[in-house]
Amino acid sequence: MRGEDDQQWKTIAWNGVFCRIPPAWEIGRIGLRYLLFEDEEGPVFELKWQPVKKGFSFDVHLKRLSAAYSRKRGIDLKPAALPQQWREALVGFEARFFQWGSGSATGQGAVLFCGTCRTAHLLQFLRRDIVRSKRLCMGILRSFGDHPDADEDREHLWAIYDIRAKVPCEYQLKRYRFTPGAFELAFSGPRREALSLFRWGPASVLLEHQSLRQFLDRQLPWIGPFPVMEPRRDNGSVRLESALYSGLVDKWRLWLLRRPLYGWLQAAHHDHTNRILAVSALGRHPPVARRYLQISDHYETVSAKPGR
């Protein structure tokens, strides 16, 4: 931790929240609205968040949190006055501070509420040496946010492991998969669109005995018998935009079964990162190609992690 330059920190952005963390920290656990970060010695920082539809009470949340700590860990969690440094770092949030400690285990954190996007957060630093590093803690807190700036395009940044993407805010994450060699983020969008971002690797192994089209046929069965993809000369990617029905009767059959009627796909083999990236969309209305092209153009890998 000591001597780390915060200009070298990495950005993490996941399902609406974002912050910057030291380069040595990695994701230990991930959930739909949960992140736990670790270093080589163990857990260091935890984030939980949830949209708030009705009234929000700090007292209720702190009581529940205190009861959970007492029951599961035998630790007394103590609310305390919000330190001035925290107040200055968390501009735009209402915040209540807490701390806990038992022997060598020490932590501190806050419950936050954002009135702009109506999201409640729990964040906490989980180890004595982390708590004592004020510069580190304040660097993370100052970088923390939960919605795009009002004057920017309405897009969420997604920056997790080695993938980076920008997706319009109206798309909601429904499921995700991070397995060795295969990542997937699946979203639901306007008019029942199903948008997916894929990342496969290592591409040199996956494409050793098959073409990109053959690989995609196996990974995305809906491509099936539909037209040969249009190669793009600029970056070696391929694109497909097609109806998923073969005639009027088939169209009405799919419509009655509430199945997608149209598909869109753009995929590319990126030599410099040895990855295959793809953006696909399925829906019951003709695809908005410009929107999907923008998502695809901003989708990238920033490094090649061994074993991922």
Pair 156, 148: CB distance under 8 Å: yes
**pLDDT > 70: percent of the chain:** 79
pLDDT of residue 2: 45
The pLDDT of 141-154, averaged and rounded, is: 80
d(CA 139, CA 6): 8
pLDDT of residue 239: 73
**Residue 100 and residue 11 in one domain:** yes
Domain range for 242:
169-301
**Residue 231 and residue 266 in one domain:** yes
**Residue 118 and residue 208 in one domain:** no
Pair 284, 262: CB distance under 8 Å: yes
Asked if residue 1 belongs to a domain, the reply is no
The pLDDT of 250-259, averaged and rounded, is: 65
pLDDT of residue 1: 45
**Residue 24 and residue 134 in one domain:** yes
Pair 147, 16: CB distance under 8 Å: yes
**Residue 15 and residue 49 in one domain:** yes
pLDDT band at 61 (very low <50, low <70, confident <90, very high): confident
Domain boundary among 143, 177, 204: 143
The pLDDT of 244-253, averaged and rounded, is: 63
**Residue 191 and residue 127 in one domain:** no
**Residue 31 and residue 132 in one domain:** yes
pLDDT of residue 190: 87
pLDDT band at 167 (very low <50, low <70, confident <90, very high): very high
Position 43 pLDDT exceeds 80: yes
Asked if residue 76 belongs to a domain, the reply is yes
Cα 280 to the center of its chain, rounded Å: 17
- For 214-225, write each residue's pLDDT tens digit: 888 889 887 766
pLDDT band at 305 (very low <50, low <70, confident <90, very high): very low
d(CA 108, CA 127): 9
Domain boundary among 84, 108, 143: 143
**Residue 214 and residue 132 in one domain:** no
pLDDT band at 106 (very low <50, low <70, confident <90, very high): confident
pLDDT of residue 213: 82
- Look at the chain and report how many structural domains it folds into: 2
Asked if residue 35 belongs to a domain, the reply is yes
Asked if residue 117 belongs to a domain, the reply is yes
**Residue 281 and residue 234 in one domain:** yes
Task: Specify the pTM.
Answer: 0.86
Asked if residue 107 belongs to a domain, the reply is yes
**Residue 29 and residue 103 in one domain:** yes
**Residue 175 and residue 139 in one domain:** no
Long-range contacts of range 297-301, CB-CB < 8 Å, 24 or more positions apart? 298/164, 298/165, 298/166, 299/163, 299/164, 299/165, 299/197, 300/163, 300/164, 300/165, 300/270, 301/162, 301/163, 301/164, 301/199, 301/270, 301/273, 301/275, 301/277
Q: Can you give the CATH number for the domain in which 271 is found?
A: 3.40.1000
Asked if residue 308 belongs to a domain, the reply is no
Asked if residue 160 belongs to a domain, the reply is no
Per-residue HEC secondary structure of the chain comes to: CCCCCHHHCEEEEECCEEEEECCCCEEEEEECCEEEEEECCEEEEEEEEEECCCCCCHHHHHHHHHHHHHHHHCCCEEEECCCHHHHHHCCCCEEEEEEEEECCEEEEEEEEEECCCCEEEEEEECCHHHHHCHHHHHHHHHHCECCCCCCCCCEEEEEECCEEEEEECCCEEEEEEEECCEEEEEEECHHHCEEEEEEECCHHHHCCCCCHHHHHHHHCHHHCCCCCCEECCCCCCEEEEEECCCCHHHHHHHHHCCCCCEEEEEEEEECCCCEEEEEEEEECCCCCHHHHHHHHHCCEECCCCCCC
The pLDDT of 236-257, averaged and rounded, is: 65
Domain boundary among 109, 143, 177: 143
The pLDDT of 183-206, averaged and rounded, is: 93
- Write phi, then psi, for 44 (nearest 5 degrees): -130, -30
Asked if residue 307 belongs to a domain, the reply is no
**Residue 207 and residue 126 in one domain:** no
Q: Can you give the CATH number for the domain in which 97 is found?
A: 3.40.1000.10
pLDDT of residue 53: 84
